[in-house]
Amino acid sequence: MSSVRSTTAIIHDSGIAFGTSGARGLVEQFTDEVCAAFTVAFITAMRDSFPVERIALGMDRRPSSPAMAAACTSAAHTLGVKVNDYGVLPTPALALKAMADGIPCIMITGSHIPFNRNGIKFYRPDGEITKADETAILNAEAAMPTLPAPVRGEVSEAANQAYSERFTTWFPGEPLKGWRVGLYQHSAAGRDLNAHILSELGADVVVLGRSEAFVPVDTEAVSDEDQAQGSAWANQHQLQALFSTDGDGDRPLLGDETGTWQRGDIVGLLCARALGIEALAVPVSCNTAIEACGAFQLVERTRIGSPYVLDSMAKLSKRFTRVAGFEANGGFLLGSRLESDGRQLAALPTRDALLPALTLMVMAAQRGINLSQLIADLPARYTASDRLKDFATEKSHALLAEWQTSPELMQQTLGLQTGISAVNSTDGLRATLENGDIVHLRPSGNAPELRCYSESASQADASALVKQSLAALEKLN
């Protein structure tokens, strides 16, 4: 008689681990058994703190996502847990609905990573799981039940409706009337929902780049092709703004009237300032203009990843009434309920793409100015970022450990013309140069990639720093 395997053993043997945005791995690693094991372990861990009789489920448009969703559904049913299936939708829309209903949820998505990979995000009834929850899931030691054939139930539009109403209520009337907004849809989970919301706010929506094949858009590493395409679209269609998201709709990509894609942390900074946020939690990789602009009472710097931002936001909420966070990728986390003229915007402590993008568009439209003019009064600090693919994580960690003790070697290897005055190892290795420039290297938590972030007094210099650094690193690969 064969013994029953535990969820812990199945997950461990799969080779899948938690990164900064949920469990990620190759598609072939996410077998029905592995997806079911994660679901059983998640529900088991949640039942230590909450009564779990129902969960919510959503997914992105990756080819592998429907089968993974079916396996998760069947596993939940074996535990007597009902599933509210919301189909393809943005992650923040799923989280908003689940939190309103007070139930946990599972989102099948790999966000921006290539289509041959996928992932699973987990949410407690009160928001994203914590690092402690991740440990509880991995160590659940629950017995795997006998699984029926994977099957999904009827799909509901209720979560999409609630997400749409969130913005049409907060931005009343048609504040974008007279604006032509290009919507780069590609294969984003919320592409049709985004078009609907923009239209409801009065915008003339121009649909662009729709794709039935999955497109891995990374809002932190916009390709040269997408940069050129943005400029071409803005000129061709006479746009006031360009908008897109990553695959699961929690990271924005906002372009101005020239088609120039704006950096996510600058979009987050402008949004937080417009919302009257008092205290911010942001990763160490974000632009230092956040502090330099003087708009916030307190800015806390964290490791990269929403769990760390959320942990800091929770602490800030004990001292401040208007708390938020955002990441360099532009995902905005609202930690406090906001009120304005009798309208309310519920807290949504998970990355969201629509709130920062819509806030900036509406603000510019109401002021009668271009999007590019919103950043005119910010301190002149510019950032750039990109990544080196197929760079072994172990090699990255060894390299950065060596450079932490020998910054001179880092300067020499990367060919930096200015000496390094300080290093910060909060997450990866962030080197501040003697001229004030910054080069920050960090192994990805989701894939064998080495990310490079830079900051300088001009966009050209920031971009040059990234290209120079990655070119030098590629020679080591």
> Which residues belong to the active site?
111
State the burial class of residue 291 (Cβ atoms within 10 Å of its Cβ: 0-12, 13-18, 19+). Answer: middle
Residue 472 identity (one-letter amino acid):
A
Contact 387, 452 (CB under 8 A): yes
Q: In whole angstroms, what is the distance from residue 282 CA to residue 324 CA?
A: 9
> Within 10 Å of residue 319's Cβ, how many Cβ atoms?
11
Long-range CB pairs of 393-402, under 8 A, 24+ apart, other chains included: 393/443, 393/444, 393/448, 395/476, 395/477, 396/441, 396/443, 396/450, 397/443, 399/476, 400/425, 400/428, 400/429, 400/441, 400/443
Residue with tokens 């402690």: 132
Taking alpha carbons only, the member of 89, 383, 367, 362 closest to residue 261 is 383
Q: Give the pair of three-digit tokens for residue 164.
A: 């749409």
For 358, phi then psi, to 5°, come to -65, -40
